[in-house]
Amino acid sequence: MILITGQVPRAAMGTDAFQEAPVFNIMAPCAKHVFLVTDETKIEETMRRAFDIARSGRPGPVVVDVPKDVQNAMGVFKGSGLLPVRGYQERIDALAETQISAARPRRSSRCSARPSGRSSTSAAASSTARRRPSSAPSPSASASRS
């Protein structure tokens, strides 16, 4: 989902102008990414990147906030190009590598043979015997006293 929002002209931004909204502050907690287009020559690359981010990774909205003077600017349609977003592609590549490594089978670090040669039931019985102090009365002995 791409949300394209309008904003006051760039000259009025940050002055508490009439109908100015802090779109970044409002939308950042719930959006994958929020763009504020301040250069009219980069609006096409920004829109392409917004759709690229919306289609990749986890689902979520991408917000493109466009000031009024940028909306009214005339420009030449290029037809290609993505706005470079610092760190975004590296995070996507790292996530893909993590998913690939998680899909590989892991070797078990535990050995299936026991070094002492005892069966698992005798090993469990000896560990239980070690935990109980020898001076403590058994449950059957305390029941016979009452």
Instruction: Give the integer Cα–Cα distance in Å for 26 and 9.
Output: 19
Smallest Cα–Cα separation from 28: which of 57, 56, 58, 3? 3
**CATH architecture group of domain 1-73:** 3-Layer(aba) Sandwich (3.40)
Q: Where are the domains of the chain?
A: 1-73
Q: How large is the C-alpha radius of gyration of the chain?
A: 32
Give pTM, 2 decimals. Answer: 0.55
Q: What is the pLDDT along the chain (146 residues), one digit of tens a residue?
A: 999 988 888 877 778 777 788 888 888 889 999 999 999 888 888 998 899 889 888 888 999 999 988 888 888 887 777 777 777 777 777 877 777 766 666 665 555 555 555 554 544 444 444 555 555 555 555 454 54
Written as six digits, the tokens of 66 are 């466009």
Residues 61, 28 contacting (CB under 8 angstroms): no
Q: CA–CA separation, 3 vs 8, rounded Å?
A: 17
